[in-house]
Amino acid sequence: MNLFYSEKTNTQSVFTKTNIGFLARSITLVAASKSSEDIQYSFDGQNVAGDISIGEPLNESITFTEIWIKSASGGQEYRLWASSKP
C-alpha cells in the first residue's frame, strides 16, 4: 500500500497540481484555514469536481494520480492524504 501526505499547504487562486506519485484510490482533503472561503478541487485542472468548507473533510473513493486545488483568493490552508488502498 502506498501513502501520500501533504502537511499544511496554501491554496492559490488558480488550480495548482499536486502529483500523488502512484495510482491513488482514496483521498482525504481537509480545509484547515479559519477563512470562510471554500476550497475547490479538480481531477483535470479545468473542471471543478467539488467544494469543501473549512473543517469539512472530503473522503472519496476514486482512481487518480494527481489532484488540482484552488480557492477564490488563494492562501487557504489545507491538508491532503491519499492511499492506494480503497
Closest by alpha carbon to 63, among 22, 30, 2, 31? 22
Give pLDDT tens digits for 6-52: 888 888 999 999 999 898 888 888 877 666 678 898 989 999 998 88
Closest by alpha carbon to 42, among 3, 68, 70? 68
50-66 average pLDDT score: 76
pLDDT tops 70 at residue 61: no
pLDDT tops 80 at residue 85: no
**What predicted TM-score, i.e. pTM, was given to this entire model?**
0.80
pLDDT tops 90 at residue 53: no
